[in-house]
Amino acid sequence: MTTRKMGDSEQALVEIARRVLPAGGFGNMPQETIIREGRGGRVWDVSGNEYVDYLLGSGPMLVGHAHPEVNAAVIEQVGRGSTFFANNEYGILLAAEICEAMPCAEQVRFASSGTEADAYAMRLARAWTGKSKILKFEGGYHGMSDYALQSLWPSRAGNSEAAVADSAGIPASVGGEMLVCPYNDLEAAKQLIHKYKDELAGVIVEPMQRLIPPAKGFLEGLRALTSEYKIALIFDEVVTGFRLAYGGGQEYYGVTPDICTLGKVIGGGYPLSAIAGKAEIMAHFDMAKVGTAGFMPQVGTLSGNPIAAIAGLASLKILKRPGAYEKIHATGRAVWAALDKALKEAGIPAIVLGEPVMFDAIFTTRGSITDYRGTLDQDKAMSKRFNDAARANGVFKSDGKIYISLAHDEKDVADTAAAFTLAAKVAAEAVPA
């Protein structure tokens, strides 16, 4: 592993980006790194620097970059046309595969992004119940809609159910339709659900919230409470779907929601998302079944796009093979152990949090973290030093998550361990006196 160097062509692109893009980028990763290509578990930037990639396009590339089988499927479809705004073979087959895989899925509707899928899922809960409020959990990410951007990243944790908008441009009235409580606090959720049962349409939750696994009985408790009052339980599985297990978080944790949203993995690296759920609820997309008053229109130019659908089908075929998930989890445990060891040896206080397929270090002296509030006292300066040093030494990751792929191999793990050791040493030595 060598320290990253920026060439003239990459620097020129950075300068153009600063001129034509707000804040110089797409709003995602640090703008000074411009990726040229990816293969397997690695990516290369425009300057030719090589990285072990744990960003994976923010998760979609679970089988690795440019997988030959996925590429072949996409190339085959490209020759037949890119999109039709009509039913196509591969979109139908992908919907059938989702229904087979996801315990809650009896029917599927496609969209193009996780933001769309989550927004439609909340609307679907309202259509089904005839009620308006949605309960979400503090720090839970459900896309970029006005409703989702409530109490996602408040700088201070609240002590009431009132939602706080996370963005300029959101009407104050939107917050009045959202209720918020801490993740993993079943008693707080129970109190809110009882209090607002006559107004509450749905509860939306990531079964694993960002990096925080559910506490024992938490998801089961939500399932029981929502069933009691005929409130829709929505699992946002845009991240966890087909990642924790083939049947997603609902299979992995053994709790079946009424509705789930999917994205990332199901598009194989192309824009695709889905809303899936019980036929009774999904009927609100069908005017013939629910009439004009109950109908929920949903149209998207690229919804069910055949290129994304065939890429998704090819990816799922690879993931269904015996041993795939065992390998992903085993690789994740090895990378987790390397990260934990590097931080401990450098004397850096931290918790490695998550599940083997998706985790990261939280730089804190806390003994445990069970909700968003527990992340607020982390050492952000230390986090930045470590993550900057990891990228400089050949590990490409975000500042808050490590995604593991089926393509990562033993060399990737060994190179990552070496980079983490160097990064931890750099981060520890840079602590101000």
Angle (deg, nearest 10), helices 68-78 and 306-319: 160
Strand partners, 35: 45
Tokens of 260: 């789930």
| Triad 377, 381, 387: Cα angle to 5° | 110
Please say whether the beta carbons of 225 and 193 come within 8 A.
yes
Check if 236 is active-site. Answer: yes
> Model's pTM, two decimal places?
0.95
- For the sheet with 42-45, list strands across it: 35-39, 42-45, 50-53, 395-396
* List 53, 185, 236, 415, catalytic entry: 236
SS3 for 100-131 is HHCCCCCEEEEECCHHHHHHHHHHHHHHHHCC
Distance, CA of 226 to chain centre: 24
Task: For residue 12, give the H/E element and its range.
Answer: helix 8-20
Which of 131, 133, 136, 264 is the catalytic position? 264
Pick the catalytic residue from 54, 120, 141, 147: 141
Per-residue pLDDT of the chain in tens (433 residues, 90 and over written 9): 457 788 888 889 999 999 999 988 888 876 788 999 999 999 999 999 999 999 999 999 999 999 999 999 999 999 999 999 999 999 999 999 999 999 999 999 999 999 999 999 999 999 999 999 999 999 999 999 999 999 988 766 555 688 888 899 999 999 999 999 999 999 999 999 999 999 999 999 999 999 999 999 999 999 999 999 999 999 999 999 999 999 999 999 999 999 999 999 999 999 999 999 999 999 999 999 999 999 999 999 999 999 999 999 999 999 999 999 999 999 999 999 999 999 999 999 999 999 999 999 999 999 999 999 899 889 999 999 999 999 999 999 998 899 999 999 999 999 999 999 999 999 999 776 5
The neighbouring-strand residues paired with 362 are: 351
pLDDT of residue 161: 80
Known catalytic residue at 190: no
For the question of residue 258 being annotated catalytic, the response is no
